[in-house]
Structure 1
């Protein structure tokens, strides 16, 4: 058996064992990386761990650390109240506000994980406060960022269009951007209607996740603002038929919240304007806030979900090993030998979706777009359509909990809901792996007729 096939079977075994036994998938993936890399291929330990996503590790730890402090000192709650005021108190509009903000940030040049890292903690806290399905809020943030992915001035758009040009393929940046935008907007409509948005609009329930008369889940205590939020929420009246948020005592700005808000603004400016690393900036801000107010940051490190960090980093390390030994190229080259070009194009879209659910979308597109050149030479496959379909297939699956975006949603969900959110995101992500390539391929290469 070739090493490429061995790595594929090992990946399947990782998911099978992790499903049947209560073993962290990330730990299994690291063991598999060691077993295949060192024992089978004779690689040295530094080479086995070369694909460990240090940047992703820092982002997950730094952002969740900072926003744990922000929750503890009441800053996130203050931002939630500001979001409510922004839409006139209507809860039903908040998921779309988060979708739009994420889309705009990415369209203007923020990398998608940076936008999700900024917006997800606020959106997930809002969901917990008002009984909105956390899956609804998390997916709206993730697919909002995905909607802006291929803007001509966005990072992924610039990279993808550059690969297209260097490969001699006739692309169209605006078709790529608009087709991806429309795909994710339609997904957003489906997510909103399918995961509780209709109940938010009618006002009969706080959301599909929990009835209005059920007590909210416990939220962190804000030492600077008095009793736990959950205590205050338990006495709030139900949302009425006009779907507006009930009255609650407004939080005021104090020193800790002002400094935390300043740190968040610096995070946005640093990421969007100066291209600084979100994770390292978040860690810097968290350390400064800890020095300034130790009492509100005392438990923040413990609120980092280390099991999520282990899971995501372990899986990404293993997939990087698969890429290093040529598994992706092996699959891609095998598919290009298929006699039917349209079928081969569909299979390439599926490879992009499957691998990108665990690995870098940019890296996958850089590897697979050049492999499509022989298919396009036949004249039976639209170049514009295939590039757009492959790009959508490879990016829309970032809602998988094994990608940075999906992992940020899981890490920022209330602790008692994280297992549920993880499982639901896995179902959603792998559902998209099955459906998105077929839909985008059918619409953009079979029906569009460019």
Structure 2
């Protein structure tokens, strides 16, 4: 059996074993990388670990560390109150605010994981405080960032345009950007109404001055309804044994902006500026800010390291390391070359879109686009597939699946979800992400290559 087929078989085994037995998929992936790379392919350990995502590791650790301190010193609570005041207390608008801010950051040049790393932790606090489904909030942040991906100023937009130009393919940067925005806005609407948006619209307004939800109760979630979805805002409940009137939690007074909160906010602003203007690594900036805050107020940072999502770090880093091994042995090129030789160009285009979606759910979107767009050149030479449509379909297929918990964006969302809900968010993100792996290539291919040519 060839190295490419061995790597694919081992990947399937990882998911089967991880599903049947309660073993961290990341740990399984490290073992599989060692067994396949060293045991079967004769690689050195350094070659096996060459795909270890050091940058992603630092982002996950640094961001969750910083926002653990921000929660401890009240900065996140202050942000919650300020943002609710800014939208006039309309809780239903908050997920869309997160969507737009994430998209604008990415469209202006921030890499998508950087935007998600900055916005997702704040969004998750909103979710916990106002009874918003954390899955809704996380997906709105991820797809908001995805909407900005192919801006002419964005990293992916620049990279894709460069690959298209080098490959001699006709391009349309504006068309690519707008088609991606429309696709992700439609996904955002679907997410909003599928995961609790109707209840938020019915809930009305929260009081931004006292941080209370509609009805006078403090804006924290009630017990979830059957099926795991939050039941709405407020905590007014009726005692089942006595039938006593509803109890309400006293409102929380507005927080003052003290020294620690001001320094934390400045750190967050510096993260945004560093990512957008200086192209600095978000993870290293977050770690630097966390260390500075620890030196200023050791008591506020106590136990913050223990709040880092180490299980998620192991999970994602293991899977991405194994994905890097697959790329190093040529699995992606092997599949792409085989498909590009098919006699049916439209079918081959669809299959390449599927490869882009599947691999990008675990690996770098930028790397996948750089590898697969050139493979489309033989298909375009037949004249049966439109160049602009196929590039757009490939780009969308590879980017919208970043909601997978094995991608950087999805992993950041899971890592910043409330600890008691991380397992649920992880499972639902996996379903959503792999649902997009199945649906996004087909929809984008049909809309941008088949119907567009009619």
- Is TM > 0.5 for Structure 1 vs Structure 2? yes
CA contact (8 A) 2:403 2:429 kept: yes
Distance 2:272 2:341 in 1: 46
Alignment of 1:12-51 (within 5 A): 12-51=12-51
Q: Bigger CA drift: 199-208 or 96-105? A: 199-208
Q: Which residue of 2 aligns with 1:343?
A: 347
Q: Does 1:374 align with 2:378?
A: yes
Indicate the SS of the match to 2:303.
coil
> Does structure 1 retain, via aligned residues, the 8 Å contact 2:71–2:77?
yes
May I ask how many residue pairs the two structures share in their alignment?
A: 424
Partner residue, 2:306: 302
Determine helix, strand or coil for the equivalent of 1:252. coil
Mind listing any 5+ residue stretches in structure 1 that lack a counterpart?
217-233, 238-246
In the alignment, which residue of structure 1 is the partner of 2:179?
A: 179
Deviations 1:171-191 (A, max 9, x none): 100110000000000000000
Structure-2 change in CA distance of 1:213 and 1:91 (3 Å): closer
Offset of residue 248 of structure 1: 3.6
1:278-317 → structure 2 map (5 Å cutoff): 278-317=282-321
1:210 aligns with 2:214: no
Matching of residue 164 in structure 1 with residue 164 in structure 2: yes
Q: By how many angstroms is 1:338 displaced?
A: 1.1
Alpha-carbon deviations, 1:69-101, whole Å to 9, x = none?
A: 000100011101111011001100000000000
SS of equivalent to 1:297: coil
Is 1:251 the equivalent of 2:255? yes
Distance 1:40 1:322 in 2: 13
Cα distance change on mapping 1:116 and 1:169 into 2, 3 Å? same
1:37-76 matches, cutoff 5 A: 37-76=37-76
> SS at 1:295's partner residue?
coil
CA distance in 2, matches of 1:285, 1:436: 38
Measure the CA separation in 1 of the matches of 2:303 and 2:277.
32
SS at match of 1:153: coil
State yes or no: 1:359 paired with 2:363: yes
Q: Secondary structure at the match of 1:328?
A: helix
Q: Mark the CA change 1:297 to 1:235 in structure 2 (over 3 Å): closer, same or farther.
A: farther
Q: When the two structures are superposed, what TM-score results if normalisation uses the length of structure 2?
A: 0.91
Shift of 1:268: 0.8
Q: What SS is found at the alignment partner of 1:448?
A: helix
Corresponding residue for residue 261 of structure 1: 265
- Cα distance in 1 for residues equivalent to 2:260 and 2:53: 32
For residues 449 and 94 of structure 1, the distance between their equivalents in structure 2, rounded to whole angstroms, comes to: 39
* 1:448 equivalent among 427, 449, 452: 452
Instruction: Check if 1:189 corresponds to 2:179.
Output: no
SS of alignment partner, residue 210 of structure 1 = coil
Asked whether the 8 Å contact 2:405–2:433 carries over to 1, the reply is yes
Unaligned runs of 5+ in 2: 205-213, 215-220, 223-228, 238-246
1:384 corresponds in structure 2 to 388
**Stretches (4+) displaced over 6 A:** 204-207
> Structure 1 residue 132 and structure 2 residue 132: aligned?
yes
Are 1:77 and 2:98 counterparts?
Answer: no
1:3 corresponds to = 3
Q: Counterpart in 2 of 1:119?
A: 119
Show CA shifts across 1:126-162 (max 9, x none): 1001110000000000000000000011011000010
- Alpha-carbon distance in structure 1 between the residues aligned to 2:65 and 2:142: 20
